[in-house]
Amino acid sequence: MQQIYPGVYKINGSLATQSAVRGFKVHDEPTMQIQGKEYREWDPFHSKLGAALSRGLREFPFKEGSSVLYLGAANGVTCSFISDIIGKGSIYAVEFSAQSGRDLITVSQKRTNIYPLISDARFPEKYSEDVGQVDVVFEDVADRDQAGILISNCKLMLKRGGIAMLAIKARSIDSTLPPKQIFSKVITELRDDFDLLEKIDLGQFERDHLFLVLRKK
C-alpha cells in the first residue's frame, strides 16, 4: 500500500481511501481490510476526480480539514471519497435533482462532514451565506454554462488563491462543435478570474471531458 496524496492510497493497483464510516458503502464499492482499517476502492469510471487521479493529476488540494463546495454532487459518490480525505473539514454538496438529492441526504446522515444543499448551482446567492468561504470549489454539472456557474460560485465563496476544479463535459455545452473548440472557449471564459494550473484529458474514463485545475486570482 502506498500513499500517493494526503488520504489517497494505491492498493494492488487501485485507488482507495480509508473509510471514515466502516461498513457503509455508497455504490457497492469493494472494500479491503488492512491492519485493522477499512479502505474503499475509488473507481475512476464512477468519479471524474478519480479519473483525473488515474490520469496523473498533480495538484491535489484536498487534505485533513479542507472546506469544499461541491457542485453537482449527484448521489454523493465522489463526495464520499473527499469526505474520507478531509476528516474534520466540511463539504457543502449542491445538487438540484430531488431523486439524487435523497441518496445524497442518506450519505450525509452517515457522514457528518457532508452538508447537502438541494439547490440550483446557477443561483449561488441562495446558499452562499450557509457556505461562507471555502478552500476548494469542485464542479461537475452537465450544463451549457459550466464556466459561468464556476465563476459566480467562486466569486461568492472561494477564498482568494483557493483552488477550483472543473470537469468540462463538451457535449453538454454544444454537441455540434469539436470538443477541442469548446474546451478552448471555456478556458478563455475563465481567464480573467483564474490562473490555469493543470488540464487533463479524462481519456478512456469519460469521453470528451477535460478536467481543469485553476487558482482564483
The residues that touch ligand SAM, with contacts defined as CB under 6 A, are: 47-48, 72, 74, 77-78, 94-97, 100, 120-122, 140-143
Q: Where are the alpha helices (DSSP H) in 23-138?
A: 48-54, 77-86, 98-110, 128-131
Which lies closer to ligand SAM via its Cβ, residue 67 or residue 78? 78
Least distance between ligand SAM and beta carbon 145 (Å): 9
| Sign of the dihedral through C-alpha 23, 26, 27, 29 | negative
Helix axes 98-110, 77-86, angle to 10 degrees: 30
CB of 101 to ligand SAM, least distance (A): 9
- Taking the complex as a whole, how short is the minimal distance between the CB of residue 26 and ligand SAM, in angstroms? 9
C-beta of 18 vs 100, nearer to ligand SAM = 100
Helix (H) or strand (E) holding 138: strand 134-139
CB-based burial label for 12 (10 Å; 0-12, 13-18, 19+): exposed
For residue 122, the minimal CB distance to ligand SAM (Å) is 5
The DSSP bridge pattern shows strands 158-169 and 134-139 to be: parallel
Q: Which residues, other chains included, contact 2 with Cβ-Cβ below 8 Å and sequence gap of 6+?
A: 9, 10
Minimum gap (Å) between residue 77 Cβ and ligand SAM: 4
Contacts for 56 with CB less than 8 Å, ≥ 6 apart? 200
Q: Which is nearer to ligand SAM, 29 or 198 (CB)?
A: 29
In this complex, which beta carbon is closest to ligand SAM, that of residue 138 or of residue 183?
138
Closest CB to ligand SAM belongs to which residue?
Answer: 72
For ligand SAM, the closer CB: 110 or 122: 122
